[in-house]
Amino acid sequence: MAKAEKKRHFGIDPQTHEIVLGKWRIKLPDSPALRMLVGSLLIVGGVLGFLPVLGFWMIPMGLLVLSHDIPIVRRWRRKLAVWWARRRGTQNSSGGS
């Protein structure tokens, strides 16, 4: 019965407005301006990922936060998700026996 209930492992939960990363959930701010500020700061911090405290992981996290409010970023995220699902599906089905 557990497989019947497919949960998101990556993305934004539309009911709770939380970022879902595997078993971790991060609450997004309610204000669109604050969400855009957080997303922008994550991207800027990710560009400086060579510094010790920051990391390049911040760029996709910032884009994920921005995709909640900016339609073009949302389309890019969805296209990437579809591409990734197709890529994983073809590798799994043609992986040999």
Question: pLDDT tens string for the chain (97 positions)?
Answer: 444 445 556 778 878 888 887 888 888 888 889 989 999 999 999 999 888 878 888 888 899 899 888 999 989 988 988 888 888 876 544 444 4
pLDDT at 5: 46
Tell me if 46 sits within 8 A of 55, measured CB to CB: yes
Residue 18: per-residue pLDDT: 86
What pLDDT was estimated at residue 4? Answer: 43
Q: Residue 39, class by beta-carbon neighbours within 10 Å (0-12 exposed, 13-18 middle, 19+ buried)?
A: buried
Angstrom distance (rounded) from CA 19 to CA 12: 5
Q: Enter the pTM of the model.
A: 0.68
